[in-house]
Structure 1
Amino acid sequence: MPGMSSSLRLKKITPDDVEAACSLRVRPDQEGLVAPVARSLAEAYAQPETAWPRLVFDGERLVGFVMAFFDVRFDPDDPKDVPRSGLWRLNIAAGEQGRGYGRFAVEAVCEEIRRRGQTRVTTTWAPGEHGPGEFYRRLGFRLTGETSGDQVVGELDLAALRAR
């Protein structure tokens, strides 16, 4: 991918990173489509058993934020209740988009979900002209027909992804 570096990494957020994380901004036309990082960090703080927030770095440069969720509340004895884990938030800095950082972050979330023994990744997105729908479809997400508020729900089958 153009602009991709071998020094891409996810980093757990520490108190030293909070100010830089909260200053990360997406493009102005995307601001109404994804919550700011500060809100995501507040949600992660309130749901530590579910949320998995990470910063995306290229070398020492902060380029994005990603947060996964892991469903720890499902009932394994209920066949209708299946665990759902996935991508909760993705914010790539305005000047860093189109360089593969989003793909890297989503793939890292997929690996973490696979490591935890699950085979499906779920995410939601705001449909529309400036929304990320095409980005998620290129990664293999398929619409489920469900909605969550005003967002559509997409799902990625990790077994099918591995078979490609």
Structure 2
Amino acid sequence: MSELRLEELGAKTIVAVNNLSLKPGQQQFLAPVSYDLATTVINPQTAWQRVVLDGDRVVGFVSANFDPDATEPHFQSVLWRINVDAEAQRGGIGRFAVDELRRVAAERGFDHVDVIYEAGEDGPERFFTAVGFTPVGETEYSEVIATIKV
């Protein structure tokens, strides 16, 4: 693995992000990437979207939002999506992305990052727990709300 780095989502990486593969069973826990891409258009001042590159290869995508004025506290500093290509999973890429997200959150004055996810056997809970998120509640739709300190 080369040195990992983040790059702002752009024209030269968007196709690769849309083509990231998932392991069987993971797709039921993720909305299409295009849903996240629309958030930049809707919330350009607060949306934060980056691709994770290993050398020149796109191996991941992370989408977050930083909005101190959000009415729901768990939407003020929130990780919306993290995708790591199926072939690159379990190689430290997700942990790298979360660490970078925490760094950015701290730079923007936040003391934590929240994530909301659907519980399930093939879902992301094991990953989020492994990188340090702690469940703190649930949404009205029974999704887990978890938080990590920055």
State the match for 1:11 in structure 2: 7
After TM superposition, list the pairs within 5 Å mapping 1:1-164 onto structure 2: 5=2, 7-74=3-70, 84-147=76-139, 149-158=141-150
Closer/same/farther in 2, CA of residues 148 and 18 from structure 1, 3 Å limit:
farther
Closer/same/farther in 2, CA of residues 100 and 119 from structure 1, 3 Å limit:
same
Closer/same/farther in 2, CA of residues 144 and 23 from structure 1, 3 Å limit:
same
How well do the aligned residues superpose, as a CA RMSD in angstroms? 2.1
* Structure 2: segments with no counterpart, 5+ residues: none
Closer/same/farther in 2, CA of residues 81 and 58 from structure 1, 3 Å limit:
closer
Q: Whole-Å Cα distance in 2 between the matches of residues 57 and 132 of structure 1?
A: 21
How far did residue 112 of structure 1 move?
A: 0.2
State the match for 1:162 in structure 2: none
Bigger radius of gyration:
1
* Structure 1: segments with no counterpart, 5+ residues: 159-164
Q: Whole-Å Cα distance in 2 between the matches of residues 111 and 44 of structure 1?
A: 20
> Equivalent residue of 1:28, what SS?
coil
Opposite residue 26 of structure 2, the aligned amino acid is Q
92-101 or 34-43, which moves further after superposition?
34-43
Q: Whole-Å Cα distance in 2 between the matches of residues 152 and 74 of structure 1?
A: 19
Contact 1:86-1:109 within 8 A present in 2 as well: no
- Taking structure 2 as the reference length, the TM-score comes to 0.89
| Superposed CA offset, 1:34-70 (max 9, x none) | 1222221122222212210110111111101001110
The number of aligned residues is: 150
Q: Whole-Å Cα distance in 1 between the matches of residues 131 and 6 of structure 2?
A: 19
| Superposed CA offset, 1:87-125 (max 9, x none) | 110011111111110000011100000111111110011
Q: Whole-Å Cα distance in 2 between the matches of residues 68 and 141 of structure 1?
A: 15
81-90 or 96-105, which moves further after superposition?
81-90
